[in-house]
Amino acid sequence: MSTTRRDWLKVVASFATGAVLGAAGGYYAGLQSIKKAVEKTTTSTTVAEAPKTQIGLPKMKIHFIYVGPVGDYGWTHAHDQGRKFLERTLCPDPNKWCIVETSYTESVPEEQAYSYVKNAVSGGAHMVITTSYGFMDGTKKAAAEYPDRFFAHCSGYFKDQQEWSRLQNFAEYFIDLYEAYYLNGIVAGKMTKTNRLGYVAAFPKLPEIIRHMNAFLIGAREVNPNVQMDVVGLGAWYAPENATRAAQALVDTNGVDVLAFTEDSPAVLQAAENYQKQGKKVWSFSHYSDMSQYGPNANLTGQIVNWGPLYVEMAIRAYLAWISGVLSIWSEWPPERPRDYWWSMKNSYAYYDYKKNPADILPLNPAVPDEVRKYVEERRRQIIEGVWDPFTGPVRDMQGKVRVPDRARLSKDELYNMDWYVEGYRQLPS
């Protein structure tokens, strides 16, 4: 008897159970279900030619393409931790219980994405995951050329319905941190003494960064309406030296005493820590990964992301579609927006610690007063439970125009395409 679509969906369900339990036993049960299904399946040529374990499980080769170095301890480091989580989960025993084999290329220029994706496919990759906004067009181009492979791109979008329908083997994904930035902003608003916040932004006109800056400022002004924020743009995702200089200018020239940032290194936090060592109270945050070792005194908290569970979700669906030839296992998920994964703190579990949530904040610095801790935790739980969102109206822009009406919220598309700035900015790059 051959394996049916219903059988494959049962396998997906078994992995979902393992993810909730967070235990190796749950994932082993999923791998055992795959083994039984594979034994009843006639596979395609690409599957037949794939390397197999001792018990006959085909291994899907998944290649990651990174924009920065894995040692940046920010964006790329977090993605590589997710890759390692994926491999630990789906390949706990490489010789026996294993269905994936991962590899990566780091520090890839965004304009060269297409050639690197093609090289990955030529090298035998069955799935390619690209992890920077600027890789989008190159990844889509390769997806159109290789319909028998799977592609996933981080932080992009489908340009129209026609493109979405055409690229059935391509998915967009993101774990957004605007809710975590909002919580950081609450802490910043309470910890500042000068009422001047600073933000070092890789690309301050990019919707993703506008969304994060706005959420941070909304949180700060919720608890301290006198706060204003200055922004310095870098024009690069990874620029430690420039980020350090920008942080110093914000503190020394603008009077800033709390620094946030979107730059893929601990440079801004290290700058704040240096001021602390000189006896000046300047605070900052971790970004994407726990950077507290670089600023044990200055690190107030920080937005962190765990890509691993999402990578497991996508890889399982790609693997089962690859094995079965049933593309819909991949192409019709998630049901609300197929092939458009959008995770955030709302995908977290209130009673899990931050290390298990897709997006969250780090434990707060002991210097943060108890009443602030309580308020941050109250808002955190409201966000996770879906009863509060940072962009709950009324929200006004810099010109005082109401952008979000009273008690309304922004849609995913409105958040994703944000091109306006909320009230409270003092200085923005021209």
How sure is the predictor about 34, in pLDDT bands with cuts at 50, 70 and 90? confident
Question: What does the DSSP 8-state code read for residue 397?
Answer: B
Q: Answer whether residue 22 is part of any domain.
A: no
- Same structural domain, 286 and 366: yes
Q: Answer whether residue 26 is part of any domain.
A: no
Q: Answer whether residue 29 is part of any domain.
A: no
- Same structural domain, 372 and 257: yes
Asked whether the predicted pLDDT for residue 395 surpasses 90, the reply is: yes
- Same structural domain, 272 and 380: yes
- Same structural domain, 198 and 157: no
- Same structural domain, 73 and 204: no
Note the pLDDT of residue 260: 98
Claim: this prediction has a pTM higher than 0.75: yes
The average pLDDT across 1-11 equals: 64
Asked whether the predicted pLDDT for residue 423 surpasses 90, the reply is: yes
Contact by Cβ (8 Å): 105, 67:
no
- Same structural domain, 142 and 243: no
The average pLDDT across 151-159 equals: 95
Note the pLDDT of residue 130: 98
- Same structural domain, 249 and 375: yes
Q: Answer whether residue 184 is part of any domain.
A: yes
How many domains is the chain built from? Answer: 2
Note the pLDDT of residue 1: 46
CATH of the domain at 223: 3.40.50.2300
Asked whether the predicted pLDDT for residue 163 surpasses 70, the reply is: yes
- Same structural domain, 85 and 138: yes
For residues 75 and 351, the model is more confident at 75
Asked whether the predicted pLDDT for residue 140 surpasses 70, the reply is: yes
Asked whether the predicted pLDDT for residue 110 surpasses 90, the reply is: yes
- Same structural domain, 236 and 271: yes
Contact by Cβ (8 Å): 235, 205:
no
- Domain end residue (candidates: 343, 363, 391): 343
- Same structural domain, 116 and 257: no
Q: Answer whether residue 44 is part of any domain.
A: no
The average pLDDT across 259-269 equals: 97
Least confident of 41-55, 208-222, 229-243: 41-55
How does pLDDT run across 325-349, given as a tens digit for each residue?
899 999 999 998 999 999 999 988 7
Q: Answer whether residue 80 is part of any domain.
A: yes
Instruction: For the chain, give the percent of residues with pLDDT over 70.
Output: 92
The radius of gyration computed from the CA coordinates of the chain, to the nearest angstrom, equals: 22
Q: Where are the beta strands (DSSP E) in 155-243?
A: 170-175, 196-201, 228-233
Q: Answer whether residue 168 is part of any domain.
A: yes
* Residue numbers of the domain that contains 234: 177-304+351-417
Note the pLDDT of residue 354: 87
- Domain end residue (candidates: 343, 366, 401): 343
- Same structural domain, 364 and 296: yes
For residues 314 and 6, the model is more confident at 314
Q: Terminal CA-to-CA distance of the chain, rounded, Å?
A: 66
Asked whether the predicted pLDDT for residue 273 surpasses 90, the reply is: yes
For residues 372 and 50, the model is more confident at 372
> DSSP letters of 36-103?
HHHHT----HHHHTS-B-TT-PBPEEEEEE-SS-GGGSSHHHHHHHHHHHHHHHH-SSTTSS--EEEE
How sure is the predictor about 24, in pLDDT bands with cuts at 50, 70 and 90? low
- Domain end residue (candidates: 321, 343, 365): 343
How does pLDDT run across 122-131, given as a tens digit for each residue?
999 999 999 9
The average pLDDT across 91-106 equals: 95
Query: Chain-wide mean pLDDT for the chain?
Result: 92
How does pLDDT run across 363-386, given as a tens digit for each residue?
999 999 999 999 999 999 999 999
- Same structural domain, 222 and 272: yes
Q: How far apart are CA 272 and CA 270, in angstroms?
A: 5
Note the pLDDT of residue 25: 55
Q: Answer whether residue 21 is part of any domain.
A: no
Half-sphere exposure (CA, 13 Å, Cβ side) for 269? 26
